[in-house]
Amino acid sequence: MEILQRPILTEKASALTEKANRFTFRVDHRANKLQIKSAIEEMYGVTIVAVNTMVVQGKAKSRNTKAGLVTGRSPKYKKAVVTLKDGETIDYYANI
């Protein structure tokens, strides 16, 4: 099970990073907080103070086609917001 799927790079996540030293990741839906904490600490070499998780529900989507209106949903996913120790930071682009 790959616990960390990708970092979430949105305006809201960037504001959290600047103001509160909190970083946001999209994670596997079966992972718990302890697994998420150990995966991030191992991958980035940082000290994590807190981990908050949430399940984001998928958005309703619709589009018009020749056959008529097609509706559906985008898939749900789990999001983790981690708070780092003061003075530490994560460089997302160092592992590319």
Domain boundaries, the chain: 4-95
Class of domain 4-95: alpha beta
pLDDT recorded at residue 95: 64
Q: What's the pTM?
A: 0.87
End-to-end CA distance of the chain: 21
Q: Specify whether the CB–CB gap between 53 and 39 falls below 8 A.
A: no
* Alpha-helix residue ranges (DSSP H) falling in 1-89: 11-20, 33-44
CA distances from 62 to 7, 69, 74 (A): 27, 7, 10
Confidence class of residue 90 from pLDDT cuts 50, 70 and 90?
very high
Mean pLDDT throughout 55-71? 95
Neighbours of 31 (CB within 10 A): 19
The overall average pLDDT reported for the chain is 94
